[in-house]
Structure formats: C-alpha cells, structure tokens
Structure 1
C-alpha cells in the first residue's frame, strides 16, 4: 500500500507539472507570438527546450518548497496530504485554463499544500509562507510593473531617433532571445517546485532520508514541464498576448526582459518561488502604460488580479476536501 501510495503521489505530481507547463506556456511566448516575432509552434518548441534546460540550473526553490512551507508529514496520512495538495492545485489549474485566466500554478500548489496540511493536522510554517510566498506574491508584480515601465522608457529614449520600422524589425529578432530567457526562467522556477514535492514524498516513504534531489526526479519533472509547455495554452495565450494590450516588438522585448530578470533574481538570490504569471502580466501592464495609461485594458487586468488573490484559498479549500475524502475512503 505504501509503495502504491508513493507511485500515485509521484504520478500526480508529474501530471501537475504537465498542467503547469500547458497552463504557463503563455508566460514565455505570448508576447513573441502576438508581435509575430515567432510562429506559435516555433515558440512552443523553443519554450519546451528552454524549460527543460532551466530545470537543471539550481535547487534553491525546490528546497524552499520541501523544507520551508509545511512540516514534512509522515506515514500514510502524510502521503494523503501531498496527494490532496496536488489534486487541489491541478483542479484549480484546469478551471483557470478553461476560462483563459492566467492565474498562478505556483500559488495553486502552495495553497493546496497549506489547505491539505491544515486538514491533516500538521504544522504550517507561517513565517515561511509569509516570507517566501505571500510577500513575493505582492512584491514581484510591483517590481515587474515598475521595472517594465522603466525599461520601456529607456528603450523609447535610446531609439527615439531610429527609423520605427527598422527598429521594430530588430526588436522582433531580439524577442527570440528575450522569450528564450523567459522560458529558461520558467523552467528554473516551476520545475523545481514539483521537485520539492516529490522529494517530500520520497522522504515520507523512507526511500531517502535527505533533501537532495535525485537525478531521475530532475529529469522527470523537467521532461513533463517541457511536454506540457509544447502542448500549449492557447486560451491563456490570447489573454496575455492581446487582451491586456496590443503589444509591438519593442514592448514585447521589454516585458520579457523585465520578467526574466525578476525571476533569475528571485531564484538565485532569495530562493523564493515566485509566480511567472504574476511577473510577466505585471511587466506587460508596466510596458503598456508607457504608451498611455488608458492603452492598458485595466478591466481585464483587474479580473486577472482578482484571480491572483483567490488562487491560494481556492486551491486550499479543494485540497482540504480531497484530503477528507481520501481519509474517508481509505481510512
């Protein structure tokens, strides 16, 4: 039974990574596709490869997830907690994907972990949740918004005397680099989050007694994230690429460069698991505001931000219900 529970939990974790990939593929490539810098299939293939590479760049975020948010549970109850957390996150991912809402897969996972932990009666490290999850959830979009605005202002000043058509062609080429940087950062952030959960499952099952990430876990999580990315998230791509604001190549380059910079800083300096969705969305808003404030469709932006706020509690409630259902059925 313990082996079966471990296999089920790891399998669900990998499926979560797959949904994370197709849910968040828009983060890396929506701007490049909307500005016609890349064709959709070429953009998805590039994002899949860079996601795969990004997953091997570090382990700080994974350790934050496996050690810093909830007490490592033990026994069959502990495995049920992880299972419920993952199902809660997957459920919210699928709901928001269906409605084309770019919510955060990361915060769905964290909400699921907290909700399942509370339902299972194990400790939640609230200081870790606040410092590593809640504060970055507010700070990173603000930084993305302001930095996106500043980067776009610098670009406008530097190229103020350039031929507009020639400049746009150059930025369309540059966007292939900035989109690749975004995809690499996405792999660095999001693959590690699932790695942290799988390590917890292996620890609960007494397969290992340390928090090092086995190579097979890195490969499996990276591969599933890449497969999910290549499957694409067309509904969300439309929201990010066109419904917030119509982007041109310089704006797309500025938004992607801003978001990638924030992700690398959060990953390597703070080991903070931030939301790639939050960062790229806020960067797009900041970049768009340089044209004129009214150019950004703030009504769409407001709905997206509301989704950010309800993601963690919604996933937490679903995870708690799933945990109680599992305990009711299996005891």
Structure 2
C-alpha cells in the first residue's frame, strides 16, 4: 500500500472524527433553548437533533464544494503523478484537520460555543500557508469573513424584530396558555434548526474528504461529491450530536439570557432561516454557533439590554475572534511537525 493511499485513509478517518466532535460540540446550538424551556427532555432533544442533522446533511453539496475547492488551491496536487507530491498535499489537509480538532476540544473543555466551521477553515488556511500553497483569500473574504460578520448581525437584528412582533401579537394573550403553545411550536423550530446545522456543518467535512480524494488522485476537482462521503459525514455528525454537548448547552441555554418558549421559538426560527439562505443561496460555510448565539442575544435585548449577560457574551466573542488565527497557528505547527517527521 503506497503512502498517499495510507494518508487518504488517515484523512478520511480524522475528518469523520472532526465531524463527530462537531456534532457534540455544536449539538447545543439546535437544542439548548428547547431543553432550557422544557420543550424537549435532554435525550429527546438529542435524538431529534441527531435525526435532523442526518437528513440535513443529505440535502445539498454547495457548501462542501466551497470548502473542497475554494479555501486552498489543490489543483497542482489533483494532476500530480508522483506519490511524494500527492502525499505532501494530503499532509496539508491532515494538518488542517488536526488544527481544527485541537481548537474544538479546547473551546469545548472551557464550555465556549466557538465555531467548528471557522476552526476548519482556519486550519486549512494555516496549513496551506505553512506549506507555501496558494490560499484563496478572495473566497475566504467573500464566503467566510463577510458571512462571519453579516450572519450574526442578521441573526441578532431579525430575532430582535421578530420577537417584538410576537410580543405585539401576544399583548392580550394569557401568559401560561400562550407559553404552552409556543413550547409545542418550539419542537418544530428546534428540529428546523437541527436540519440547518446538518445542512451546513456536515458538508464542511464532505469538502475536506473530497480535497483528500483529489490530492490522492482518486477524484478530480470537477467530480461530484461521492455518495459514500455524504453518508459517512452525515452519520458521523448525527452520532456526535446524539452523544451530546452538555457543557455548551448550559452556556447557550441559560448563561446568555434566561430563555422562555417565546425566546426559544424566535431565536431558533431566525437562525434556521439564516442557515438555509446561506447554504442554498450564498453557498457560504457560516457558523451555526455565531448565528444561534446572536439570535438568542437579539431576543434577550427586547426585554432590556441588561437582560443579556454581556460578560458571558464577551467571552463567546473572544472565542470567535481567536478561532481563525488560533486554529491556523495550531495547524501550521502540526504541518511543520509532520513535514519534518516525513523527512526523517
């Protein structure tokens, strides 16, 4: 078995491991508020989120194509004839994955809902820079950096406006019966959000596996994403989601604001719509975490600005800002270590 094939297998396994960590790291995004409001029990919420993640992952591949061909330029490896050159391309992908996984685990340990998407993108860019590969800054700007700013802003603003409209519509309603109805509605909104999470995040792993297949000479950049890649990525994120991420659930479900069923329904609905739009229309790999968290802040701000626990929100924003450079740095170091080891 040649070195490039061994590395392809390693990348596929580690990419699926990343997808699994993405599932338990980001499971809280879709279900934290529904658990906090008791719309679902924790195990029911995790099971629903896992199923919807699986379904969402099978609904498209446009985000996967952005990751697979838009972050770093792998065209030279796609046409490589030597095993050594293919192995070098695979080392880059492997280092990017390891950088992303490391940052995921660090933020998971501290209970911070950072972006697995941006960790992966930062990891690929960092490994590419360390290897001297062309990094597509235009694509990163248009499909990563701009959406990184726009999607949370849209999430916050739309959630704020929709929450005010809902409060206006409910001004004569009796509180407890209205909350019971919204708790039922929240079952659907949390499922819709979990579908969007699968649609966005599982595709990023598909894109990484596709890069590895291209670098290993098994596919060309023009080929569609293989069906087995879709199934594997969808299954890994669903399994990771079912395993759960209770540390981050606590942060999103109670530490940012005190959530009631109306807040949960609005924040989940807005976040789901943003995820669908960016996946189907913009083809941008946005952060589910960023969108959900700012939507929760938006509904909280309708009470009063002090209802949002801005100290916790500030810690989350710090994790967001650090994610791209931190994962890029870790991936660059990992690449240099792997490259040195292969020389030896």
Structure 2 length normalisation: TM-score?
Answer: 0.95
Q: Summarize deviations over 1:217-249 as a string: whole Å, max 9, x none.
A: 000000000000001001000000000011000
The question of 1:299 aligning with 2:301 is answered: no
Q: Which residue of 2 aligns with 1:34?
A: 36
Q: How does 1:299-318 map to 2 (within 5 A)?
A: 299-318=311-330
Q: Which whole-Å deviations, capped at 9, do the CAs of 1:18-62 have from their partners, x for residues lacking one?
A: 000000000000000001110000000000000000001111101
Q: Match for residue 150 of structure 2?
A: 139
CA deviation after TM superposition for structure 1 residue 87, in Å: 0.3
State the partner residue of 1:122: 133
Report the counterpart of residue 62 of structure 1 in structure 2.
Answer: 64
Distance in 1 separating the partners of 2:4 and 2:103: 27
- Paired residue secondary structure (2:267): helix
Q: Which residue of 2 aligns with 1:217?
A: 229
Q: Output aligned runs, 1:1-331, within 5 Å.
A: 1-72=3-74, 74=77, 75-209=86-220, 210-331=222-343
Alpha-carbon separation, structure 2, partners of 1:328 and 1:293: 52
What stretches of structure 2 of length at least 5 have no aligned partner?
Answer: 78-85
CA RMSD in angstroms comes to 0.7
1:276 is displaced (CA, Å) by 0.2
Q: Distance in 1 between matches of 2:191 and 2:216?
A: 37
Q: 2-side partners of 1:196 and 1:8: how far apart?
A: 15
Structure 1 unaligned regions, length at least 5: none
Say whether the 8 Å CA contact 1:199–1:211 is kept in structure 2: no
Deviation of 1:90 after TM superposition, in Å, equals 0.2
Would you say the 8 A contact 1:47–1:230 is kept in 2? yes
Q: 2 CA distance for matches of 1:118 and 1:53?
A: 35
Question: Partner of 2:141: helix, strand, or coil?
Answer: helix
Runs (4+) of structure 1 moved beyond 4 Å? Answer: none
| Distance across 2 between alignment mates of 1:195 and 1:171 | 35
Shift of residue 211 of structure 1?
3.4
